[in-house]
């Protein structure tokens, strides 16, 4: 038989302990959610890559002599449809996806003509490979061949159906 609280009234002790345990777990989960993680480039609020987003990333060399602007485009219609395969075990497309990107370079003599290339975005790691460079989606570090540091990238804009 279960005991009761003071003066024989209230809830059984077992129920009270379960309620207290539930309260403590809920409080710790809420406290852990107070500090949201820094958003990744082209990521939705759920962490997956956004298929409908257009995002702009400005990268500058450490010495400030050159700047490159990457404008990541929406995935094509077929690419958006194939995204479903990423969530089917055994049918996933792997750990990388491609996205069209418009690249504009600026140096001391002015802006060069923009060009279109294909960027590779990691689904498992937080990095982007484009035009022989690597961009860390979490820290903004911009590196060239052999991971030689080039500078820093700043996420300037992201628009789309699901931010």
The count of structural domains within the chain is 2
pLDDT in tens, 140-151: 899 998 889 999
Residue 48 domain-assigned (yes or no):
no
Looking only at the bridges linking them, the beta strands covering 149-159 and 54-61 are antiparallel
pLDDT at 47 over 50: yes
pLDDT at 161 over 50: no
Q: Are residues 126 and 69 in the same domain?
A: yes
pLDDT at 36: 43
pLDDT at 4 over 70: no
Q: Are residues 67 and 13 in the same domain?
A: no
Q: Residue 99 — very low, low, confident or very high, per pLDDT cuts 50/70/90?
A: confident
Can you give the pTM of this predicted structure?
0.66
Full domain range(s) for residue 99: 54-159
pLDDT at 121: 86
Contacts 24+ apart (CB under 8 A), 75-82: 75/51, 75/99, 76/100, 79/51, 80/51, 80/52
Residue 116 corresponds to which tokens in the numbers above?
């279109």
Q: Whole-angstrom Cα distance, residue 138 to residue 40?
A: 6
73 with 102: CB under 8 angstroms?
Answer: yes
Residue 45 domain-assigned (yes or no):
no
Q: Are residues 58 and 113 in the same domain?
A: yes
- Average pLDDT estimate for 157-163: 56
Q: Residue 153 — very low, low, confident or very high, per pLDDT cuts 50/70/90?
A: very high
Please tell me which residue, 55 or 134, carries the higher pLDDT value.
134
Q: Are residues 110 and 82 in the same domain?
A: yes
Q: Are residues 14 and 93 in the same domain?
A: no
Alpha-carbon distances, residue 60 vs 28, 36, 99, 147, 150 (angstroms): 41, 27, 22, 16, 8
Q: Please report which helix (H) or strand (E) contains residue 101, including its range.
A: strand 96-107
Residue 126 domain-assigned (yes or no):
yes
């Amino acid at each position: 038989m279960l005991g009761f609280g003071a003066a024989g009234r209230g809830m059984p002790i077992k129920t009270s302990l379960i309620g207290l345990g539930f309260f403590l777990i809920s409080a710790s989960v809420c406290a852990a959610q107070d500090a949201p993680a820094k958003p990744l480039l082209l990521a939705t609020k759920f962490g997956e890559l956004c298929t409908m987003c257009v995002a702009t990333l400005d990268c500058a060399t450490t010495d400030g002599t050159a700047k490159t602007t990457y404008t990541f485009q929406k995935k094509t219609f077929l690419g958006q449809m194939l995204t479903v395969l990423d969530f089917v075990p055994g049918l996933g497309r792997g750990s990388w996806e491609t996205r069209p990107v418009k690249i504009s370079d600026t140096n001391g003599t002015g802006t060069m003509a923009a060009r279109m290339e294909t960027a590779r975005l990691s689904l498992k790691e937080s990095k982007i490979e484009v035009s022989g460079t690597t961009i860390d989606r979490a820290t903004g570090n911009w590196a060239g061949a052999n991971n030689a540091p080039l500078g820093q990238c700043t996420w300037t804009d992201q628009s789309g159906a699901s931010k």
